[in-house]
Amino acid sequence: MRNTIGWQVEGSSSILRRTPLQRRDLRPDDIAVRVDYCGVCHTDVHAVSARSGEGDRPLVPGHEFTGVVTEAGPAVTRFTVGDPVAVGNIVDSCDECAMCRAGQENFCHAFPTLAYDGIDRHDGLRTLGGYSREYVVRDRKRHPDRLVLQGVLFVLCTGIAWEHLPQELGFGSGITCWRRLAEWTEAGVWPQLHGVLLAELRSANALVFSRAAVDGSHIRALKGGAKTGRSPVDRGRTGSEHHLITDATRHPARRHPDWGQPQRCHPANPAPPSRAPGRGKRGRPRRRPNVVLADRGYDHDKYRRLVWALGVKPLIARRGTEHGSGLGTQRRVVERAFAHLHWFRRLRIRWEIRDDIHEAFLTLGCALICWRRLMRSPRSAG
């Protein structure tokens, strides 16, 4: 057992006295927390003052406290020594019922274990609260990544707010999905996923790099944030510009979110990737398109020089000339890719203040388009 100091009431007394306490030894999934601050809640006061007839059962109140991890069990994965932590009223649950799997431990069918005056699920002893120098608590089980990813995809497809994610689906809470999305974004998961799918498409001979098409689309950003600006096509409202480069068969090869500007040629670079995805094909396959197609919004000599420097011919419509150049019949692939992207409702309006989260959704949408095409390819079907 671990020895510490706490403030305890005994019998029918309502006076807190400094008393030596014993905490359980750390189990594999336990952490020891040095309690720095503990709140005084009305339930704590009520529990202390209404103890007449309770017998000799000791009580250590305190169920909302913060501190620092001083020791961690070998099975703990989310915390290390020195991490700041906060502990609430629920410290354990069965982890097996439907409510626990949905992240709603407060509705546990077997009743959750409370921070104080609860029953420990392993040794059957009464729990002692946070009015002490140390507390031992079980690390909360990490929600499965597969379920959390389904929650992220549900938000991407439906456009629902994070806090409205249905708990009945079992994806975890909205804040859990958001935090995991931010974690994966920081690790660079989505560009790697997009690159792997492009390589698989190329291996299945589903990518055509004879030409590339570039275009942009503006969406409204209702909450503002980085990479936003006044839109010239939406009455000056705040928005973001998406720029997309596709191959000849509408597969998005590169995406780039930017800010709204009066002339699209200002922020956008129509130059295709200097090298197409090289993975997935043996030998020396084509690594850049012959031509890149763009509309009048990209009409600028600066970008023509950039494209020519890559050994690619730019076919960009000239401003001030009549329509009917014929480029639209070949550029329709990128417009079709935008239509597929906007099928994901979270990409029709930008709700994210953080630009990296919005770009993560954009990259994930491009990856899903590539994955759907890969599933329909003859090699995948075979």
Q: Does residue 84 register a pLDDT over 60?
A: yes
Q: Does residue 50 register a pLDDT over 80?
A: no
Residue 237 confidence (pLDDT)? 85
Residue 267 confidence (pLDDT)? 34
Greatest mean pLDDT among 104-108, 177-181, 200-204, 277-281 lies in 177-181
Q: Does residue 30 register a pLDDT over 50?
A: yes
Q: Does residue 243 register a pLDDT over 70?
A: yes
What count of other Cβ atoms lies within 10 Å of the Cβ of residue 188? 9
Burial class (CB in 10 A: 0-12, 13-18, 19+), 325: middle
Which domains, and CATH codes, for the chain? Answer: 2-138 (3.90.180.10), 145-182 (no CATH), 188-381 (3.30.420.10)
Average pLDDT, integer, range 199-218: 84
Of residues 294 and 153, more confidently modeled: 153
Give this prediction's pTM: 0.72
Report the alpha-carbon distance of residue 87 to residue 82 in Å, rounded: 15
What count of other Cβ atoms lies within 10 Å of the Cβ of residue 123? 8
**Nearest in space to 292 (alpha carbons), one of 337, 350, 244, 336:** 244
Q: Does residue 380 register a pLDDT over 80?
A: no
Instruction: Specify whether the CB–CB gap between 262 and 232 falls below 8 A.
Output: yes
Give the Cα-Cα-Cα angle 282, 287, 289 (nearest 5 degrees). Answer: 135
What are the two backbone dihedrals, phi and then psi, of residue 232, each rounded to the nearest 5 degrees? -80, -10
Q: Provide the pLDDT confidence category of residue 337 given band limits of 50, 70 and 90.
A: confident
Residue 260 confidence (pLDDT)? 41
Q: Are strands 90-92 and 30-38 parallel, antiparallel or unpaired?
A: unpaired
Of the listed ranges 65-79, 255-269, 349-363, the one predicted with least confidence: 255-269
Give the Cα-Cα-Cα angle 200, 201, 203 (nearest 5 degrees). Answer: 65
Average pLDDT, integer, range 219-228: 85
- Residue-wise pLDDT for 307-319, tens only, equals 898 888 888 888 8
